Amino acid sequence: MSVDGILRLCNDLSLEPDCYEVLLFCFVCRAKQMYSLTKDEFLLGLKTLGNHVDNLLDLRTSLF
């Protein structure tokens, strides 16, 4: 996911790109580069947050 993808995800989650929750998600994904996620990094982040993350609302709730 490129920077544009991250920005779109932030918009979909109603989060500012520089907020703590986005930084936390990149950390949980073990991103090698901030604001850029590979598919494997993104899936690792979702798996780390738990099996209950099935949609954007679940993802947003998990980050708060």
What pLDDT was estimated at residue 3?
Answer: 86
Burial of 25 (0-12, 13-18, 19+ CB in 10 A): buried
pLDDT tens column, 55-64 = 787 777 777 7
3-state secondary structure of 51: coil
Q: Residue 41 — pLDDT band, cuts 50, 70, 90?
A: very high
Q: What are the sequence ranges of the domains in the chain?
A: 3-63
User: Is the model's pLDDT at 51 over the cut of 80?
Assistant: no
* pLDDT tens, residue by residue, 16-29: 988 888 888 899 89
pTM of the model: 0.77
